[in-house]
Amino acid sequence: MTVHDKIALTADDLQGDISRHLKLSIGKDASHASLHDWRMALSLALRDRVVEPWFASTRKTYDGKHKRVYYLSMEFLIGRLIEDVTINLQVEDMAVEAMKALGQDYYEVVKEEPDAALGNGGLGRLAACFMDSLATLAIPAYGYGIRYEHGLFEQHFENGQQTETAEGWLAQSHVWEFERPEVAYKIHFGGYVSEENGKANWNPSETVLASAYDTPVVGWQAKWANTLRLWAAKPIKLFDLESFNRGDYVGANAPERLARTISRVLYPDDTTTEGKELRLKQEYFFTSASIKDLLRRHDYEGYDIRDLHDHVAIQLNDTHPAIAGPELIRLLVDKHDFSFDEAIDMARKCLGYTNHTLLPEALEKWPADLFARILPRHYRIIEIIQDRHIAATGSDIRIIEHGNVKMGELAFIMAHSVNGVSALHSDLVKETVFHDLNAAYPNRILNQTNGITPRRWLYSCNPALRGLITDTIGTGWESDLERLTDLNAHLDDASFQEAYRAAKSTNKDRLAAWLQERSDVTLDTSAMFDIQIKRIHEYKRQHLNILETIALWNDIRDNPNGNWTPRVKIFGGKAAPGYALAKSIIRLINDVAATINNDPITREFLQVVYPENYNVSMAEILIPASDLSEQISTAGKEASGTGNMKLSLNGSPTIGTLDGANVEIREHVGAENFFLFGLTAAEATEKRKDHGYSRRAIESSPKLSRVLGQIAGGVFSNGDHHRYSDILHNLYEHDYFLVSCDFDNYFAKQREVDAVYQDVTRWTRMAAANTAGMGWFSSDRTIRGYADDIWGAKSVE
């Protein structure tokens, strides 16, 4: 049976469904329909086809009494959904045909869909890839998160500087979701705890309603579909009639405004935390609703609460939902008569925790007084967890320390399994942040190297390469990505190489056309496209990249008749609105771009572009067009990276450090197909002990000294000598991220890249070897690892 039989669909059916939805669901006549109306109608017609597999999956889970996975995440960075669904249902051709018959261009309609940007970066996108793989592997699962009214802010550049405006994806109706008004839980905050007959009783001072919205997530070829359940905060009382009658019309709306605030906006911080009360409320809000929901389902199915761990695996995506431990214990003790020991034991059997960073500023902690004020019962429970932990292990690690509640320690102690996200990162987790807890709980820490879904990050975003792969090795790789190694037999085949180059050049043309239309920028598509796309952060070192760009510009100017390899340096990424140094780096990149792009001497060799508002949809255009992937974080600081995987898979070799998953990427694609530079994590740690290292490194590098002198001299800032004093001061006086120490090595490696790029055969082989070697990085492999090692969950069928 093909997927089309399964969902009973032909292009005619689809066309009929679209027309019917346009008329009956949207209320528009074809002659008056806008692009937006067509998109709604198309989406609804596609959604109809997801519902059957969705119901069937739910039925099978109930009938087979299968264990369910609950993935709790503050972020799901989904992007657009139409293509996701047409790809997984394998109806792209049909959709194109049906829309054409209706006088519409499918691809124009697709472009009209706003990104669901309920996440900041890698952590949120990982959750989205995991949802795709869970459905593809037919593992019964729910994603639980927050239905933010405003996702990640929109980024604009004004005179090169980032400004932010609110994003409004929900200003129009979100057709993929189903509202579930009957699924709602009261979530409490504040108040005090009293005791009655030895039972604790929480008397909260504030209550909001968590109301469910479900989006089906269909897997490859509609084999299975799971649910993404997002919670919206609503008032328990819609409207204060008393205030209204008094003539206080603003006050009458207060209950609604207050409640709604909780799910209003995604915190735009990435790998830093903001100790804000509202953030803690968001975390508890969605975690409590999710735990209550899974307990209700367990009860509804008639299972004994004492068997919860046989039916439920809860994964905490970072510490943001770490309150799940105390919340589950609270419900078991206060509502189900468990003893504390029994409840702690049960919660631990259900919980797994994934750590995504070693950066100290990202390890969540809450002022104890704030925490105790918002969640008084949980605060008490955490004290009890801490006491039992100390009594059982003799460890002197505390959860509450120096007036803070430390969420990393809480998550670690409450989980039966703690994992890092790359081999190197997991080792460092054991050696550093959780050194002592690892000793107290040996074997609790394990590794699950991140992955990416090949459906979105190859099949959907790169039709040119998709076609070549299928022509070369046949189908099946889409859900068995390690089959890409079959490409290895063709790497030296001239016709394969030519086709591989043709695919890349199609993608570069597509990017060039997109940029021309969007920003009126013209790209030289024969130049190397050198891409760094990710959040702007000191440890990711976009400044290393732009400093190297300036040094190259100098060299070209000094010798304009040299044998230069033309390059386009492309940057993409947002800075947290409050992160001043990251914003300075953005401005510097834009300033340097303005100077270099207007230089007639270097113009044919070097161009810098930085399209504003990088997001998932932009990544889908940039990644397939990339020739060189910049993964240049300070070794030991990038937990994994996932953009590194997307770029390499799409035939873009990496220039990078031995950091995060770069280490494993290099092993899989072969060291000869990876441009390695820089200090190792161990060397970086040593270097930092070497007082005055940055000034010495700068002074011993003529190229870097010259570049920093130019910046200080105002070459890129219209003579303003102070515009970049923050960056300069940082580099000379401190440079924790070792930009100065890695600079010369990086510059030299870039010149090696230039030379190899001129050898077209060698370069093509390298790029294709990257594609061939990356199969292991499918998130299907990652999810199998979690299912086997952490969840004890199985594929159905």
Instruction: Please say if 569 is a catalytic residue.
Output: no
- Binding residues among 205-224 for ligand GPV as defined by CB under 6 A: none
> Which of 257, 286, 256, 290 shows the shortest CA–CA distance to 118?
286
> Toward ligand GPV, which CB reaches closer, 162 or 355?
355
For CA atoms 29, 30, 33, 35, the dihedral sign is positive
- State the Cα angle at 95 between 91 and 98, rounded to 5°: 135
Least separation in angstroms between CB 654 and ligand GPV: 14
Q: Max Cα separation, the chain?
A: 89
Helix (H, G, I), strand (E, B) or coil at 652: coil
Angle formed by the axes of helices 82-89 and 35-64, nearest 10°: 50
Q: H helices of 165-234, where?
A: none
Q: Kindly state the tokens that stand for 437.
A: 């807890």
CB of 176 to ligand GPV, least distance (A): 24
646 is annotated as an active-site residue: yes
Taking the C-alpha atoms of residue 383 and residue 701, their distance in angstroms, rounded to an integer, is 54
268 is a site residue for ligand GPV (CB under 6 A): no
Query: How many chain residues interact with ligand GPV (CB under 6 A)?
Result: 19
What is the DSSP track for 547-572?
HHHHHHHHHHHH-TTS----EEEEEE
Q: Which of 47, 320, 356, 543 is the catalytic position?
A: 356
Question: Taking CB under 6 A as the criterion, which residues in 155-194 touch ligand GPV?
Answer: none
Using the CB atoms, write b or e for 99-123: b if 16+ within 10 Å: beebebebeebbeebbbbbbbbbbb
x/- mask, ligand GPV, residues 434-473, rule CB under 6 A, reads: ----------------x-----------------------
**Among residues 421, 428, 606, 767, the one that binds ligand GPV under rule CB under 6 A:** 421
Q: How far apart are CA 361 and CA 363, in angstroms?
A: 6
What is the amino acid identity at position 204? P
Residue from 86, 271, 319, 642 carrying the catalytic annotation: 642
Least spacing, CB of residue 430 vs ligand GPV, in Å: 17
Judged by CB under 6 A, the residue of 187, 407, 589, 639 near ligand GPV is: 639
Which residue, 88 or 450, has its beta carbon nearer to ligand GPV?
A: 450
Residue 321 in the binding site for ligand GPV (CB under 6 A): no
Q: Examine the residue annotation and report whether 356 is marked as an active-site residue of this protein.
A: yes
Interface pick for ligand GPV out of 216, 321, 325, 641 (rule CB under 6 A)? 641
Six-digit token pair at 670?
Answer: 């072969």
Q: In what order do the strands lie in the sheet with 206-218?
A: 178-189, 206-218, 225-235, 141-146, 68-72, 312-317, 351-354, 417-420, 445-447
The smaller minimum CB distance to ligand GPV, of residues 378 and 535, is found at: 535
Q: Which of 122, 140, 325, 573 binds ligand GPV (CB under 6 A)?
A: 122
Question: Could you say which of 113, 149, 318, 630 contacts ligand GPV (CB under 6 A)?
Answer: 318
What residue type is 541 in one-letter code? Answer: R
The one catalytic residue in 389, 646, 668, 723 is 646
Establish whether 276 is a catalytic residue: no
Query: What is the DSSP secondary structure assignment for residue 295, as one 8-state letter?
Result: H
Task: Provide, rounded to whole angstroms, the least separation between the CB of residue 741 and ligand GPV.
Answer: 21
642 binds ligand GPV (CB under 6 A): yes
The type of residue at 12 is D
As a whole number of angstroms, the distance between CA 177 and CA 212 comes to 10
Question: What DSSP letter does each residue of 97-111 carry, written as one string?
Answer: HHHHHTT--HHHHHH
- For residue 24, the minimal CB distance to ligand GPV (Å) is 42
Nearer Cβ to ligand GPV (640/652): 640
Q: Which is nearer to ligand GPV, 146 or 333 (CB)?
A: 146
Interface residue with ligand GPV among 211, 532, 549, 640 (CB under 6 A) is: 640
Residue showing tokens 């090696």: 752
Q: How far apart are CA 103 and CA 113, in angstroms?
A: 19
Which of these ranges, 118-126, 298-306, 476-484, 786-794, lies near ligand GPV under the rule CB under 6 A? 118-126
Q: How far apart are the first and last CA of the chain?
A: 15
Contact 161, 128 (CB under 8 A): no
Least CB distance to ligand GPV at residue 288 (A):
21
Q: How far apart are CB 425 and ligand GPV at their closest, in Å?
A: 8
Binders of ligand GPV among residues 328 to 367 (CB under 6 A) are: 356-357, 362
- Residue 709: enclosing H or E segment and its boundaries? helix 702-712
Q: Which stretch binds ligand GPV (CB under 6 A): 88-96, 231-239, 640-648, 665-673?
A: 640-648
Encoded one letter per residue, x for contact with ligand GPV by CB under 6 A and - for no contact, window 656-695 reads ----x-----------------------------------
Out of 535, 537, 569, 749, which one is annotated catalytic? 535
Contact region for ligand GPV (CB under 6 A) — 36-44, 115-123, 371-379, 576-584? 115-123
- Measured at CB, which residue is nearest to ligand GPV? 122
Cβ neighbours of residue 37 closer than 8 Å, sequence gap 6 or more? 22, 26, 28
Q: Which run of H or E residues covers position 742?
A: helix 739-758
Q: Is 540 noted as a catalytic residue in this protein?
A: yes
Task: List Cβ neighbours of 520 (8 Å cut-off, separation of 6 or more).
Answer: none
Nearer to ligand GPV, 270 or 478 (CB): 270
In the complex, the smallest distance separating the C-beta of residue 641 from ligand GPV, rounded to whole angstroms, is 5
Of 3-11, 202-210, 632-640, 732-740, the window that binds ligand GPV (rule: CB under 6 A) is 632-640
Please report whether residue 123 would count as binding ligand GPV according to CB under 6 A. Answer: yes
C-beta separation of 136 from 455 below 8 A: yes
Residue 572 in contact with ligand GPV, rule: CB under 6 A: no
CB within 8 A of 275, min separation 6: which ones?
365, 366, 367, 370
The nearer residue to ligand GPV, 252 or 278, going by C-beta atoms, is 278
Q: Where does this chain touch ligand GPV (CB under 6 A) — which range of 2-10, 114-122, 437-445, 698-706?
A: 114-122
Among 121, 235, 573, 636, binds ligand GPV (CB under 6 A): 121
User: How far does CA 337 lie from the centroid of its chain?
Assistant: 39
Q: Are 659 and 559 in contact (CB under 8 A)?
A: no
Backbone angles phi, psi at 595, to 5 degrees: -70, -55
The residue range among 103-111, 637-645, 650-658, 781-789 that interacts with ligand GPV, by the rule CB under 6 A, is: 637-645
Residues 6+ apart with CB under 8 A from 58: none
Residue 418, classed as helix, strand or coil, is strand
- The catalytically annotated residue of 223, 406, 455, 534 is 534
Q: Judge whether 642 counts as a catalytic residue.
A: yes
Based on CB atoms, which residue is closest to ligand GPV, 651 or 660? 660
Shorter beta-carbon distance to ligand GPV: residue 288 or 419:
419
319 within 8 A of 353, measured Cβ to Cβ: yes
The single residue among 7, 22, 81, 126 that binds ligand GPV, judged by CB under 6 A, is 126
- Set 49, 292, 540, 666: catalytic member: 540
Taking each helix axis from N to C end, the angle separating 760-773 and 662-669, rounded to the nearest 10 degrees, works out to: 110
- Residue closer to ligand GPV by CB (options 124, 376) is 124
Stretch in the footprint of ligand GPV (CB under 6 A) among 184-192, 609-617, 638-646, 700-708: 638-646
- Angle at Cα 447 formed by Cα 398 and Cα 389, nearest 5°? 20
Fill in the DSSP letter of residue 205.
Answer: S
| CA 608 – CA 391 distance, rounded (Å) | 59
Q: Which of 270, 293, 327, 780 binds ligand GPV (CB under 6 A)?
A: 270
d(CA 474, CA 112): 33
- Tell me the catalytic residues: 356, 534-535, 540, 642, 646
Contacts with ligand GPV by CB under 6 A lie at 120-123, 126, 270-271, 318, 356-357, 362, 421, 450, 638-642, 660
